[in-house]
Amino acid sequence: MFAKPQKEHEWLAQLVGEWTFVHECEEPDGKKSTSSGTISCRMLGGLWLIVESSGEAPDHGPWSSIMTLGFDPAQNQFVGTFIGSMMANIWPYHGVLDESGKRLPLNSHGPKCEGSGTCNYRDTIELVDNDRWLFLSELQDDEGNWTQFMTATQTRS
Domain hosting residue 124, numbered range: 7-156
Question: What's the confidence (pLDDT) of residue 102?
Answer: 98
Which H helix or E strand runs over 140? strand 132-140
Half-sphere exposure in the Cβ direction for 80 (13 Å, CA): 27
Q: In this structure, is residue 1 part of a structural domain?
A: no
Q: In this structure, is residue 38 part of a structural domain?
A: yes
Which residues does 10 contact at the CB level (< 8 Å), separation at least 6? none
- Asked whether the predicted pLDDT for residue 1 surpasses 80, the reply is no
- DSSP conformation letters of 31-43: -EEEEEEEEEEEE
Q: In this structure, is residue 120 part of a structural domain?
A: yes
- CATH number of the domain bearing residue 146: 2.40.128.20
Check if the beta carbon of residue 91 is closer than 8 Å to that of residue 121. Answer: yes
Q: In this structure, is residue 20 part of a structural domain?
A: yes
Q: In this structure, is residue 2 part of a structural domain?
A: no
Question: What's the confidence (pLDDT) of residue 155?
Answer: 98
- N-to-C CA span, the chain: 36
Into how many domains does the chain fold? 1
pLDDT tens profile 77-127: 999 999 999 999 999 999 999 999 999 999 999 999 877 899 999 999 999
